[in-house]
Amino acid sequence: MQNETIAIHSGYDKTEAYGSMSIPIVQTTAYAFRDAQHAANLFALKELGSIYTRLNNPTTDVLEQRYALLEKGAGALCVSSGQAAIFYSIVNVASVGDNILISDKLYGGAVTLLTHTLKKFGITAHIFKSVDASNLEDKINDKTKAIFFESLSNPQVSIADIEGIVKIAKKYGVISICDNTVASAALFNPISWGVDIVVHSTSKYTSGQGTVIGGIIIERDGMAEFFKKNALRYPDFNEPDVSYHGLIYTDVPLPNFTLRARLSLARDIGAVQSPHNSWLLLQSLETLSLRVDKHSSNALKVAKFLESHPKVKSVNYPALESNESYNKAKKYFKDGKSSGLLSFEVNSFEEAKKVIDSTKLFSIVVNIGDSKSLIVHPASTTHSQMNEEELKNAGINATTVRLSIGLENPIDLIDDLTLALK
């Protein structure tokens, strides 16, 4: 099935739900077991089914199955936010004494989580330059547990050397984790290019209207074999889990990465998604491909306008021929499209502020992927927790303005920016 069809039909059997065309919101904390044996079987994974909404929920389950198929994966776990998805995906494989390699071009919240908060857990992050993975190999050692990068980065809109990263990850048997939030499943499917684990902040294009905070982790098929083959690097998947009466994850014929994230991390840490938010995301997912198409074509029109404007020093949008990521957009992304996210440089911080304060249609908001167009100054907001060196590494200046282009008519957006740049 193609993605547009998957997004509307898969993972749901209406005959099991009164024929309801809309997926029911199973708004419950817990589930009644048929008898004591049924309960024991569920806990022992001899039978699959719902136990408690911190572990699983039928509404969320539809979203997980649907998203796994959309991303060409084998299994998925919904969590309460994109940040939780990143956190779970790392601590599922790394613990005290380990290190991870992270791209120099990441979302600000991911940078603080991975470099500062995880340091307190004894996990060290080393930065590599993701536009060209040739500098990655030197940084890998026995304690390296994951390589983390964004396919299309927020806010730099830079496209990673995905093939290069995957090649090195495979050579050393280290897990590659791709945050695919900005490109979205409509433009790019990392697993088709050999990535092991995909994470999304579903708060962005998946939600599409800025109504939900959510996250998801998706794994490719065959992770159990991967963990067996790389047992020295990933002992937690090959040795008995004392917290789950000695379960060995690689013995279980279920997608291993999300299984452990669910049974151990969701169970213990509990950053799970509410069924109602899963339902909202299921509604939005049906129109994901249509929306991302329109966000992308609108953004290209705005980018071309900005590129020709005398007050704009440069425009950063991969679908522009002048962009350093142009060839990668063509290579990796559907029809060379590159989402609604773009940034541009003006001549001074004062000018950046003036533009932001003068627009009427653009709201000053730190979110992206909303149907409404948004504008923000990353250096003083989303990336304000970063020091000067981190900002420089991330390619963010005091003169950078970021736009998230919405679904309005682009003529109106260009008119608004014309006035703001006067």
Ligand X SMILES: *Cc1c(COP(=O)(O)O)cnc(C)c1O
Phi, psi of 251 (to 5 degrees): -80, -15
Minimum distance from CB of 358 to ligand X (Å)?
26
List the one residue from 66, 204, 233, 402 that touches ligand X (CB under 6 A): 204
| 370 lies in the binding site for ligand X (CB under 6 A) | no
Minimum distance from CB of 215 to ligand X (Å)?
5
- Determine the interface stretch with ligand X among 5-13, 175-183, 278-286, 398-406 (rule: CB under 6 A): 175-183
List the one residue from 151, 158, 201, 399 that touches ligand X (CB under 6 A): 201
Phi, psi of 242 (to 5 degrees): -65, -25
Question: Between 153 and 258, whose beta carbon lies closer to ligand X?
Answer: 153
| 182 lies in the binding site for ligand X (CB under 6 A) | yes
Question: Between 140 and 175, whose beta carbon lies closer to ligand X?
Answer: 175
Minimum distance from CB of 210 to ligand X (Å)?
11
State the alpha helices, DSSP H only, in 196-348: 223-229, 256-260, 267-269, 275-285, 288-307, 326-332
Whats the size of the chain, residue-wise? 422
Question: Between 152 and 420, whose beta carbon lies closer to ligand X?
Answer: 152
Surface-to-core class of residue 46, CB atoms within 10 Å of its CB (0-12 exposed, 13-18 middle, 19+ buried):
exposed
Minimum distance from CB of 188 to ligand X (Å)?
13
Question: Between 213 and 386, whose beta carbon lies closer to ligand X?
Answer: 213
| 179 lies in the binding site for ligand X (CB under 6 A) | yes
- Determine the interface stretch with ligand X among 77-85, 223-231, 243-251, 411-419 (rule: CB under 6 A): 77-85
| 382 lies in the binding site for ligand X (CB under 6 A) | no
Closest residue to bound ligand X by CB: 82
Sequence-separated (6 or more) residues with CB below 8 Å from residue 249: 224, 227, 236, 237, 238, 241, 256, 259, 260
Question: Between 368 and 396, whose beta carbon lies closer to ligand X?
Answer: 368
Minimum distance from CB of 227 to ligand X (Å)?
25
DSSP state of 57: -
Phi, psi of 366 (to 5 degrees): -85, -5
List the one residue from 7, 70, 110, 136 that touches ligand X (CB under 6 A): 110
Phi-psi group of 336: left, alpha or beta (phi > 0 → left; psi -120 to 50 → alpha; rest → beta): left
Lookup: tokens for 241? 């889990």
Question: Between 109 and 340, whose beta carbon lies closer to ligand X?
Answer: 109
Question: Between 203 and 264, whose beta carbon lies closer to ligand X?
Answer: 203
Which residues within the stretch 310-369 sit at the binding site for ligand X (CB under 6 A)? 368
| 215 lies in the binding site for ligand X (CB under 6 A) | yes
Which residues within the stretch 79-108 sit at the binding site for ligand X (CB under 6 A)? 81-83, 107
Question: Between 83 and 115, whose beta carbon lies closer to ligand X?
Answer: 83
| 213 lies in the binding site for ligand X (CB under 6 A) | yes
d(CA 379, CA 385): 9
| 280 lies in the binding site for ligand X (CB under 6 A) | no
List the one residue from 89, 99, 181, 323 that touches ligand X (CB under 6 A): 181
d(CA 350, CA 181): 31
Phi, psi of 216 (to 5 degrees): -145, 145
Give the bridge partners for 179, in sequence order: 150, 199
Question: Between 256 and 404, whose beta carbon lies closer to ligand X?
Answer: 404
Buried b (16+ CB within 10 A) or exposed e, 225-258: ebbeebeebbeebbeeeeebeebebbeeeebbbb
Question: Between 182 and 288, whose beta carbon lies closer to ligand X?
Answer: 182
Residue 101, classed as helix, strand or coil, is strand
| 277 lies in the binding site for ligand X (CB under 6 A) | no
State the alpha helices, DSSP H only, in 333-371: 349-358
- Determine the interface stretch with ligand X among 75-83, 294-302, 356-364, 387-395 (rule: CB under 6 A): 75-83
State whether the Cα torsion 251-254-255-256 is positive or negative. negative
Judged by CB under 6 A, how many residues of this single chain contact ligand X?
17
- At residue 365, what is the residue type? V
Q: How far is CA 140 from the centre of its chain?
A: 24
d(CA 193, CA 286): 24
| 154 lies in the binding site for ligand X (CB under 6 A) | yes
Question: Between 203 and 325, whose beta carbon lies closer to ligand X?
Answer: 203
Binding residues for ligand X (CB under 6 A) = 81-83, 107, 109-110, 150, 154, 179, 181-182, 201, 203-204, 213, 215, 368
